[in-house]
Amino acid sequence: MNFDNYPYFYYNVYGASSFISIGICILEKTLAGTLICFCLFCGIWFLKSHKKKKVLHVTEN
C-alpha cells in the first residue's frame, strides 16, 4: 500500500472499529464500555487531525 496517497489509513481503520465498538456497547447496555470506546474514538480523531495539521504545516514550509 502506498502510504503517500493514504497517510491516514490506520487512523480511519481504528476510528471505524472504535465507532463500531461504541454501537456494540450501547446495544449491550454497558455504560463503562461505551465511555471507554467514545474516549478512544475521540483520541484517534484528535491524533488524526493533529497529524494532518502537522503534515500540512511541513508541506507549506
Give per-residue burial for 20-45: e unless 16+ CB within 10 Å, then b: ebbeebeeeeeeeebeebbebbeebe
pLDDT at 1: 54
pLDDT at 55: 78
- pLDDT tens across the length of the chain (61 residues): 555 556 677 888 888 888 889 888 888 888 888 898 899 889 988 988 888 888 777 777 6
Q: Where are the domains of the chain?
A: 9-60
